[in-house]
Structure 1
Amino acid sequence: MKPVEVVEGTSPIILGFPHTGTHVPEDIWARLNDEGRRLRDTDWHIHRLYSGLLAGATTVRATFHRYVIDANRDPTGKSLYPGQNTTGLVPLTDFDNQPIWREEPDEEEIARRLAAFHRPYHEALEAQIERVKKLHGIAVLYDCHSIRSRCPFLFEGTLPDFNIGTDGGRTCAPAFERATVEICAAADGYTHVVNGRFRGGWTTRHYGRPQEGMHAIQMELAQHTHLESESEPFAYDEEKAERLRVHLRAVLERLEEIALSMKEETR
């Protein structure tokens, strides 16, 4: 299986899916313990949730599981959130701090996974960013994520439904953050936060360079917004998802509208 799937579109919007993949090669599967093989920390069904919401959007999706290697982590292994509990480039525990390996990967194995999985994903993402920028003079990377709403090892209490991350406004022009916040705040029955516990992972921070016409924003969704349950089998809830998709569609359409208006202003 290829490590990354790409669908090229004509919109200035690029959807990134680093954590929806569930493929684990046999040799790596053999190293996982029973807890690791549950793959509980998958961003379940997120690519399905966003499917068809914005005509012409480019999508870049990792097919491998985040336990193989995390495509949303710094390839050097530097922590995303120094001083806070988090998982690393190749996680050694799950989101409940339970060990996931029978045999933990050594530095040589991690280097192999970087070359085989992490690097191809980001090479594909970089190529699409450059292609879209050539089309429009601007590109907007919207990084799609989800997580269980309660993970005491990672955060206290219950996570808001919409978690918008721009690394304190550094990764995109203010108009993109403002529009996303306005739509999420107006979504009846949902909660939101900006740059809370999740303020944008390595992907958002690495590619978000608004001064160069490259804008990035991360959306972390609480999984109860679109799953029947936040435990196995993590089934997709059509009714919940359709209700949520209305607001996600509004966000993407508004981001596209802003990007195209910026393109016109620079002509």
Structure 2
Amino acid sequence: MTPVEVIRGDGPVVLGLPHTGTHVPDAIAARLNARGRGLDDTDWHVERLYDGLLVGATTVRATFHRYVIDANRDPAGASLYPGQNTTGLVPLTDFDGEDIWDEPPTADEIEARRAAFHAPYHAALAAELDRVREVHGVAILYDCHSIRSHIPFLFDGTLPDYSIGTNDGAACDPRVEAAVTRICAAADGYTSVANGRFKGGWTTRHYGRPADGVHAVQMELAQSTYLAAESAPWDYDDDKASRLRPHLARILDTLAGLAPQLGGPR
């Protein structure tokens, strides 16, 4: 299986999907414990949730699971949130702080996974952002994520339905953050926050360079907004999703419409 799948569009928006993949090579799966083999920390069905919402969007999707290696972590291994509980480049625990390995990977094995999985994903993502920026003069990276709304190991209380991350505004033009924040705040029946517990992962922080024409925003959705339950078997809830999808479509349409203001065609 290839580590990354790309669907090219002709618009200014690129959707990143680093955590929807569930592929774990047999040799790696054999070293996970029973808890790890459950793959509980997947961004379940996010690719389905966003499918078809924006005509012309480019999609870059990792096919491998984050337990193989996390495509949204610094390849050098630096923590995204120093001093806070989080998971690393190759997680040793799940989001509940429980061990997931019978045999944790060695440093050499982590480097091999970086080269085989992490690097190809980001090579593809960087190439698509460059291609889109060449056409439109600007590229808008919208990084698609979801997470359980209640995980005491990672954060207190319950997450808002929409957690918008822009690296405290450094990853995009202020108009991008304002537009996404405004749409989420106006979405009836949903809660939202910008740069709360999640400020954007390595992808948002690495690629978000507004001065260079690349604007990045991460959307972390509470899984309660579109799953039947935030537990196995992680079933997609069509009714919940049908209520959520129009708001997501409005966000993507608005971002695409902002592109000419951020940097017109060359």
Q: Identify the TM-score tier after normalising by the shorter chain.
A: over 0.9
Within 1, Cα distance between the matches of 2:26 and 2:15?
29
Pairing of 1:106-255 with structure 2 (within 5 A): 106-255=106-255
Tell me, yes or no, if the aligned pair for 1:14 and 1:58 is still in contact at 8 Å: yes
3-state DSSP class of the match of 2:22?
coil
Distance in 2 (CA, whole Å) between partners of 1:262 and 1:138 is 7
| Cα distance in 2 for residues equivalent to 1:96 and 1:263 | 42
Show the counterpart of 1:55. Answer: 55
Post-superposition Cα deviations, 1:152-205, rounded to whole Å, max 9, x if no partner, equal 000000000000000110000000000000000000000000000000000000
Whether contact under 8 Å (1:92, 1:99) holds in the other structure is yes
Partner of 1:98 in structure 2?
98
State whether structure 2 residue 81 is matched by structure 1 residue 74.
no
Report what 2:65 is aligned to: 65
CA distance in 2, matches of 1:180, 1:187: 11
Q: How many residues align?
A: 266
Q: Which residue of the partner structure matches residue 38 of structure 2? A: 38
SS of 1:35 mapped into structure 2? helix
What is aligned with 2:260?
260
* Alignment gaps of 5+ in structure 1: none
Contact 1:10 1:57 in 2 (8 A): yes
**What is the DSSP-based 3-state SS (H/G/I as helix, E as strand, rest coil) of the residue aligned with 2:263?**
helix
Question: Aligned partners of 1:249, 1:194: CA distance in 2, in Å?
Answer: 19
Q: Which amino acid in 1 is paired with 2:261?
A: S
* C-alpha deviation, 1:260, in angstroms: 2.5
In structure 1, distance between residues paired with 2:242 and 2:61: 22
In structure 2, C-alpha distance between the alignment counterparts of 1:115 and 1:261, rounded to whole Å: 37
2 CA distance for matches of 1:167 and 1:262?
19
Identity percentage over the alignment?
66
Cα distance in 2 between the residues matched to 1:166 and 1:262: 16
Give ranges in structure 2 of 5+ residues lacking alignment. none
CA distance in 1, matches of 2:153, 2:223: 17
TM-score (norm 1): 0.99
Please tell me whether the aligned partners of residues 168 and 199 of structure 1 are also in contact (alpha carbons under 8 angstroms). Answer: yes
Separation (CA, whole Å) in 1 of partners of 2:52 and 2:41? 25
Q: Separation in 2 of the partners of 1:260 and 1:147?
A: 32
How big is the alpha-carbon RMSD for the aligned residues of Structure 1 and Structure 2?
Answer: 0.8
Contact 1:12/1:260, CA 8 A, preserved across alignment? no
